[in-house]
Amino acid sequence: MIDIVKLRKEFGLSQSQVAEKLGCSGSVISRYETGVQPIPYDALVKLANIYGVSPSYIMESGVKGASDLTIKEIELIDVYRKSDTRAREDAYMLLSRHSEEKKD
């Protein structure tokens, strides 16, 4: 597994430099690297571009909670988090119905 801190250092970048490229603060990068804060999909894509790797490569890096998710699942989580309460409830009900139908 790749360590995203090690990857950043291999590129000779500081947290502040990566933060500038992502348009966030160095403390956000720190939280991503330590697994305190999940990496949103758009930031994941930007990180992948900075390091010249695929988003799935970073997902497999041991970032807390990311290793077992596909890119599509990360996108879905990101959209869910950006949605209002009603949209979240609708999505949950729809997916619950589909998963119940799949069991039958």
pTM (2 decimals)? Answer: 0.58
pLDDT in tens, the chain (104 residues): 357 888 899 899 999 999 999 999 999 999 988 888 888 888 988 998 998 888 877 876 555 545 556 667 777 777 888 889 999 999 999 989 888 777 66
Tokens 């790797």 locate to 53
Give the model's pLDDT for residue 71: 67
Which residues does 83 contact at the CB level (< 8 Å), separation at least 6? 91
Give the model's pLDDT for residue 1: 33
Q: Looking at the domain 4-103, which fold is it?
A: 434 Repressor (Amino-terminal Domain) (1.10.260)
- Domain ranges for the chain, please list them: 4-103
As to burial, measured by CB atoms within 10 angstroms (0-12 exposed, 13-18 middle, 19+ buried), residue 50 is middle
* Strand ranges inside 46-101, DSSP E: none
CB 60 within 8 A of CB 51: no
What's the CA angle centered on 82, arms 67 and 50, to 5 degrees? 50
